[in-house]
Structure 1
Amino acid sequence: MTARLIQRASRLLAVPASFQPPSSSSSAVPTECMRLCQHAPPPRCRAALHTSSPRYLAESLPETSQMGPVTPQDENEFFSMLKTVPGINNLLDIPREQNVSGNKGVMIIQEIVRREPGSNEEILKDPRFQHLLDHINGQIQHVWNGRLIKFLRSLYVLGLDRNHRCFQSVEVEVQWRLRKFSIGALAQLSSFIAPLYRSRREKALLEDLVKQVELRWTEIRDTRSLVTLISRLGFMSNSLMERLEDKVLEFAGDLKPEESRKVISALSAENRRTVSVLRAISFHLIQFKGELSPSVILDLAFAFAKLNFCQPQVLQKMATDIMPKLQEISPTDIASLVRSIAYLKYSNQPLCEAIAQACLQCNQSFSPSHLCTVLLGFAHLNFIPGQSEEFFNMIHLRLGCELESLSWQMQLDVVWSLCILNHVTVPYFHKILKPQVYSQILAVSEERSAIHSVKLMHINATAQLESPDYRGPLLPEDVLQTLQSRTGPRRVSALQNAVIETLKKVFPDEGTCNYSVPTVYGWSLDGEVVLDSDLKALALKHFEDPHDSQSGGTQPLPEGARRFAIVCREFSHYTFREKVVLGRYAMNQRHLRAAGFLVVEVPYYDWQELKSDWEKQGFLKDQIKKVMAKDMAE
């Protein structure tokens, strides 16, 4: 009430003396009030009560407004004059020739940074520059908000000592004014403060900046500030990131592809798989009428792969937009694209064909590591180019002679990929199965060498089962046992556990069915059973078992008997939204058949339709009969 009374009284005291009441008789203005108004000294009262000035008004406005009509005419002319001054020495002489304010001094330093975008010891040691810094430091409280932020950025760019008096003064002034800055100014400040190596003062400034944004995040009105804040400050506070993600959902339709790329890259950097944000951005990317640039597509593909997020329509648009531009993309970017789509299990035949064609046309610009990445991606997707003969001849020509110059990990990947694609030749086995290679794998710790051990066992199995021209050497038995032990115990999934429980009911006699059987080929069987010609299960312990190095059986299988391998096919074994197995699981089928098994596959999409135990048991029995009938027909 007191504040309101003072405010009303101040308005009355500010009424000019020439004020006259209406002549109407209906007006009832008190004579005391009129007398007070007539005798009030308006100039002195207004000066005493009106405390605002253009400088305070400018500090309360956003940065864009400060550079607009609020800027005095002489400063506009001064800004135009700076553009015409030749040389940095002439810029440094301006404070000697004319009296400049703190704002004009900041404009001079900004112009110096524009012409010399980097650290410059000569400028920093120049006495004229030091004098200019001292002059600005003396008027630091009168520098506008937007220019104060740009001044701090200029000092970082110039490489001024962080312990310099002017530097510390600017940091303190910025920290004190944080609450006066607009949200756009806070975003601009975060754009160069967050990535820097931070001292104690800078950490305190950044912490206060994060707190301010957390309190004022609802003030965000433009996508540029939103993208800057989510990419620069989002990783520092989980609660702030959640609020900024809500803002992304609000502005998703206004985001440009470049801004969408920055948002998704920021999420992938923190491994934040926020599905609602990813779906919203993907929806608007699909609606985008223009073509996505290659840089945006590459970054989006990498982020989607890291977050394991697949949206078929946006992936299709990305593939369509990038195919005509593959010839303009560097080999490094092509290798990155192949790695991303392979991780997403996105088998797009036209895109893969275009990549293979680009490799053929520009094969000299592809390094062995690039070709290895492309080959590994194709193997993962089980993709064989239409021009397979030309493609693999190029691969053999480029990688065959340089294989030994690569690291042993890359050698392993190259040969393993060729085994999956069924285009491996005898010389590759000689190079990879020699003691010099597998001894390096054995020298690595068990945790790090698990995947390499499996790949080496797959290569050995391919040489043993699918290469009749190869005469050796193969991996010794003790090495196979060591590699097999390094693969570790297998984690049983829900599908595998359900299939095993059903197999126990289908084959109730003990010893007639083995479960979770490891093999010397690097594969593990969910179930193993031997059936005679009448589909009667036989005891496994009596028969020799070449795929198991620890088997004690010696008898060969009876005539007409068949060895069955029951293998579960999980969702992760197939390409995205298709019922086509990935490359390594296609090789698994070939190896088991070559080893004498009849492979009974249990796909996840068929099993999840079964409800009762009776249906599951009937499904397994039907699958075994189908495989048996197919083998007899062949």
Structure 2
Amino acid sequence: MSARALWRRAATLRVFTSSPCRLVNTSQHLSLEWNHGKVQEEEKSETVQEPPSAETAEGSSLVYNPSAYYQSRAECSDIQRGPVKEEETTQPVPSAGFRQQSNHYMVGSSRHLSIDKNGRLDLAFNPAVDDKGHKFNNSKDEVSTYIKRDTRAFQKCRPEYSVMTYDVSQRLPAIQIKDGLLLLHKAALMKNIDSSNVACFICELGHVEPEQTAIIRGNTRFSMLLRYSVENLQHFTHVQLIEVLRAFVRLGLSHHHSILDSYEAEFSRRTCELELHQLLLVADLWRSLGRSVPQYVDKLCDCISKHFNQMGPPELVQFVYILGESRQCPAFVLECLEGIIMHHLDELKGEEVGAVCLGLFKTQNSLSDRALRRLVDRACVVVKEITDFGIVNVMKLMRFSHLDHLRWLEILSSEVPRRAPQMAVQGLMHIALTCSALHYRDENVLLAVAKYLPHLPSQYRSKDAAKLLWAFGNLGILPSQCPNFHPRLTEALRDRESEFRSYPEHLLTALLGLAFVGQFPHDLLSLALSPEFTNQVTGIIDLKKDLFTLDGTVAIELPGWTGPRMNPTVQDEVTKQLWDFAQSELCQKPEVLEAEAVLQELLGGQEFVHKRMILPHMRSIDLEVHLDLRGNPLPVTSETYQNHYHPEKGSCWPLDWKEMNTGVTLTDDLLVQLTSGKKTAMPKTVSIQRPILRPVVASAKRERILNVGVDLTDDLMHAITKRQERSTIRGHDASSSAIAQLAVQVTSRNHYCYRTQRLTGLYAMKRRQLALAGYTVVEVPHWEWFPLLRRSLAERLAYMHCKIFSSFDSKNRK
């Protein structure tokens, strides 16, 4: 518990051990004498267990302990944010039709930001002393990093919000606690109390000073008044019912209170009778009370369609905000909302744009690609008036929708360095994480984030440190570019080690991000691979895959590792799961199937190409090819190869490359296609149909070589015709048993940073590990291979021949 929280708790206890305590005692005594004992002391309707009664200095006992109702700063923040949901610890982000196609073999499942549960770790997960005796520094600076945001700032943009929202800052004329107790006494003495009197009493009690509301909530007569309100629920007018709910908010009634079930049911029944502003106000009061009301929100969504024509910008933004705080938005409502958002888009102010983005993000829904681009276009126009929190909200929606809005991203290149010095850790983390999700590598943005991050490790949650390390590692920002970044966040992980018991995914996320850039903290790796931690995460498939990736990385990159390792049985289980999925998904991609077929045609059959996961922990497939020292292909899948080729015995595959029917016959048709020249005259007795050449307009400079054919150089002619055997490679005898192991990789856009040829963290690490395992990587990039899929087979064969043997020659020249 922080020093500030302790001070507030002590101050509260001092208040309740003074004169108000005697007032509580007196009021409870009067309640037992009312109406000749007909009214018995009500059972407490709070679901929270009360502590034993304490003795005051004067010796009188307190039946109710007001401090049990007092909300800490953390709890108040949680209530302002809305009810906490439990399902988002490892829940993947739902896909949308226009998003980047998800890849189950990317290490990303545990990188999805949870929206509620992990939004802010309570101090309960940060005990003052952990099991190892590390003391956390819960200073004022640390707490301040968690509260630099205002989810309701948009409501200050227009005065119209006042009729449909609860203003926390509104100060009504307050009444003293003694007047509140007299009201309770008066209510207790009344006979045949009706609905209007009940509503009046509760609303008046809502004016008690906030510091004294715990005394009212703890009074037995207040519990009886609540019971009378339930008995008169159906007799309340709409206005009375809403004002009673507003009074509950002012009194700080617990959102767990059992009486609220009846109120939610009554409001749900009346949704079709309420006006638009009343519907939105009721939803906002429930949010302010901190109670999740799915039944009411369902009814609200069912009847909101008849009010769509009444929605202006404030009503629209408030409705989206309510849906976001409720974490629900039916599909039919979203379709209508898109049209309304587009209709009022040009009227939205900066903070309202941010609120709409945050609401959509929290509902885990998104708009169409066109509508999203227009929404972010509007954000670009009003970017100067958007707060830091609003900018982060736009980034969240872009991350969820995987929207590559280039203009907005370019604006960030100047906005983030300007805003970063005053931004909190969480905001900087969200910006870096969005750049990572979009594969957008902008060093101006990322290095500004690294520069202005707080220097004290205690100011980070484990989640913040993990996501930052993941983002920077995924985008390939090396430790040499920001020397203090990785050590600072690694130390923050050590300080927050106790949080990994509740959030194990954060440790795996951080360690994988560090591994991407070649950083391996041995103490944290030992913790992640320990039997206790392994047993904790193996029940969650996504975390089990992440742990498998980390374990395989340790095996290859730390050959002298003596620490714990993943259970071999679990390794085999995960490997089987990954391969089963690969066979049904990755292995069936058209570009992979075509590359496999071309290689088989080029090398002489299926036994010379093995489609498999060379490194199973990397969750991706390769086309494995083996060549001997003369460049002859060797089988990699057949039993014949296993029987006849034993490197340890010095025996090679008996057949020579040129003896196999595996080369490409250099016909006149092939020459025409390769050179884009004219076909030479053929004898009339020979009938050969010329393949149709379909020119493809180059989409980029690097594809120009493919749109007009391949220049037929002497080297290419020699490589294609294979008229002479390859010469013995430098100093190696032809009978040597060494072989070249090639890993052919057909890449996609997911493998690279946005609009670059720089591999993202996982695939860069895979290339590094393949090299350590003795493989030469042959990259077949999408910008070269995909255009060739629309060309002739001869061109694909020539392209693949150049790729394979140029890689082979390059390897042997080293």
TM norm structure 2: 0.55
Quote how far apart the aligned CAs of 1:453 are: 0.9
Q: Which amino acid aligns with 1:243?
A: C
Once the 2 structures are TM-superposed, how far is the Cα of residue 495 of structure 1 from its aligned partner? Answer: 2.7
- The equivalent position to 2:544 in structure 1, one of 419, 439, 449, is 449
2:592 aligned residue: 496
Q: Which of 218, 241, 249 is the equivalent residue of 2:334?
A: 241
SS of aligned partner of 1:540 = coil
Aligned to 1:11: none
Q: Does 1:509 align with 2:605?
A: yes
Equivalent residue, structure 2, for 1:327:
421
Per the alignment, in what secondary structure is the counterpart of residue 565 of structure 1? Answer: strand
Q: 3-state DSSP class of the match of 1:599?
A: strand
CA distance in structure 1 between the aligned counterparts of 2:567 and 2:162, rounded to whole angstroms: 79
Match of 1:255 in 2: 348
Q: Could you say which residue in structure 2 is the equivalent of 1:626?
A: 806
Query: Who is 1:185 aligned against?
Result: 278
- Equivalent residue in structure 1 for 2:753, among 557, 561, 575: 575
Q: 2:313 aligns with which of 210, 223, 228?
A: 223
Q: 1:459 aligns with which of 554, 558, 571?
A: 554
Distance 1:250 1:131 in 2: 47
Provide the C-alpha distance between the structure 2 equivalents of 1:420 and 1:387, rounded to a whole number of angstroms: 15
SS at match of 1:535: coil
Larger helix percent? 1
CA distance in 2, matches of 1:173, 1:513: 67
1:2-24 Cα offsets, whole Å, 9 max, x none, are xxxxxxxxxxxxxxxxxxxxxxx
User: What is aligned with 2:303?
Assistant: 212
Displacement of 1:272 in angstroms is 2.0
What is the SS of the residue equivalent to 1:580?
A: coil
Contact 1:382 1:421 in 2 (8 A): yes
Alignment of 1:524-535 (within 5 A): 524-535=620-631
Residue 593 of structure 1: which of 771, 777, 781 is its match?
771
Displacement of 1:283: 0.8
Alignment of 1:371-390 (within 5 A): 371-390=465-484
8 Å CA contact retained: 2:529, 2:566: no
* Aligned residue in 2 for 1:269: 362
- In structure 2, what is the Cα distance between the partners aligned to 1:175 and 1:510? 68
User: Aligned equivalents of 2:268 and 2:773: distance in 1?
Assistant: 73
Aligned 1:401-550 pairs, distance under 5 A: 412-424=508-520, 427=522, 431=526, 436=531, 440=535, 444=539, 448-464=543-559, 470=560, 484-485=575-576, 487-489=578-580, 490=582, 491-492=585-586, 493-519=589-615, 522=618, 524-540=620-636
Contact 1:124/1:130 (8 A) holds in 2 = no
Structure 1 counterpart of 2:471, which letter? Answer: G
Q: Give 1:336 deviation, angstroms.
A: 4.0
Instruction: Check 1:352–1:437 CA distance in 2 against 1; reply closer, same or farther (3 A cut).
Output: farther
How many angstroms does 1:619 deviate by? 2.0
Query: Is 1:232 aligned with 2:322?
Result: yes
* Matches for 1:104-143 after TM superposition, within 5 Å: 113=206, 116=209, 120=214, 122=216
- SS in structure 2 of the partner of residue 564 of structure 1: strand
Which amino acid letter does the alignment assign opposite residue 264 of structure 1? C
Contact 2:460–2:492, Cα closer than 8 Å, also in 1: no
8 Å contact from structure 1 (residues 566, 601) kept in 2: yes
d(CA) in 2 for partners of 1:218 and 1:210? 15
Q: CA deviation at 1:337?
A: 3.7
Give the CA deviation at 1:120. 4.9
- Residue identity opposite 1:331 in structure 2: V
Distance 1:104 1:185, change over 3 A: same
1:474 & 1:124 partners in 2: Cα distance?
54
Shift of the alpha carbon at 1:516? 2.2
- Cα separation, 2, equivalents of 1:523 and 1:175: 51
Identical columns (%) = 14
| CA–CA separation in structure 2 for the residues paired with 1:544 and 1:428 | 47
Q: Is the 8 A contact 1:429 1:463 kept in 2?
A: no
Secondary structure of the 1:271 match is coil
| Cα deviation code 1:200-248 (max 9, x no counterpart) | xx94x6665444322231221x212112223435835432232122111
Write the distance in 1 (CA, Å) between the matches of 2:466 and 2:267: 54
Taking the TM superposition and a 5 Å limit, the aligned residue runs for 1:258-407 are 258-275=351-368, 276-318=370-412, 320-359=414-453, 361-363=455-457, 365-366=459-460, 370-394=464-488
For the structure 1 residues 113 and 515, does the alpha-carbon distance in structure 2 shift closer, same or farther, using more than 3 Å as the test? Answer: same
Distance in 2 (alpha carbons) for counterparts of 1:419 and 1:85: 59
Q: Partner amino acid for 1:589?
A: R
CA contact (8 A) 2:226 2:259 kept: no
Contact 1:149–1:189 (8 Å) recurs in 2: yes
Decide whether the 8 Å contact of 1:541 with 1:552 is kept in 2.
no
1:515 match: secondary structure = strand
Separation in 1 of the partners of 2:217 and 2:453?
49
Aligned length: 536
Instruction: For 1:254, give the aligned amino acid.
Output: E
SS in 2 for 1:518: coil
Contact 2:320 2:359 in 1 (8 A): yes
Query: Where do 5+ consecutive residues of structure 2 fail to align?
Result: 1-158, 164-170, 187-194, 653-734
Deviation of the 1:341 alpha carbon: 2.8
Aligned partner letter, 1:356? A
- When residues 289 and 452 of structure 1 are mapped into structure 2, their CA distance, relative to the original with a 3 A threshold, is closer
Q: Aligned partners of 1:132 and 1:441: how far apart in 2? A: 45
Q: Distance in 2 between matches of 1:117 and 1:66?
A: 21
Q: d(CA) in 2 for partners of 1:269 and 1:133?
A: 36
Contact preservation (8 Å) 1:359, 1:366: no
Amino acid at match of 2:331: N
Deviates more, 1:615-624 or 1:412-421: 412-421
Distance, in Å, in 2 between the alignment partners of 1:473 and 1:126 is 61
The amino acid of 1:421's aligned partner reads: V
- Once the two structures are overlaid, the 10-residue window that deviates more, 597-606 or 124-133, is 124-133
Matches within 5 A, 1:72-91: 87=176
> 587, 593, 617: which one pairs with 2:797?
617
The 3-state SS of whatever aligns with 1:511 is helix
CA 1:146–1:526 in structure 2 vs 1: closer, same or farther (change >3 Å)? same
Query: Which residue identity lines up with residue 776 of structure 2 in the other structure?
Result: L
Letter of the aligned partner of 1:312 in structure 2? L
Alpha-carbon shift at residue 284 of structure 1 (Å): 0.3
1:294–1:322 CA contact under 8 A, matched in 2: no
Structure 2 letter corresponding to 1:500:
E
Does the residue aligned with 2:384 lie in a helix, a strand or coil? coil
The separation in 2 between residues aligned to 1:398 and 1:511, in whole angstroms, is 51
What is the match of residue 154 of structure 1?
247
Q: Cα 1:441–1:617, aligned 2, differ >3 Å: closer, same or farther? A: farther
Matches within 5 A, 1:36-115: 87=176, 113=206
Give the AA of the match of 2:317. V
Q: Deviations over 1:574-618 (max 9, x none)?
A: 122322110111111122223222211111222221112333222
**Cα RMSD (Å) of the superposition?**
5.1
Higher relative contact order (CA 8 A, sep 6+): 2
Computing the radius of gyration over CA atoms, which structure comes out larger, 1 or 2? 1
* Rounded Cα–Cα distance in structure 1 between residues aligned with 2:399 and 2:409: 11
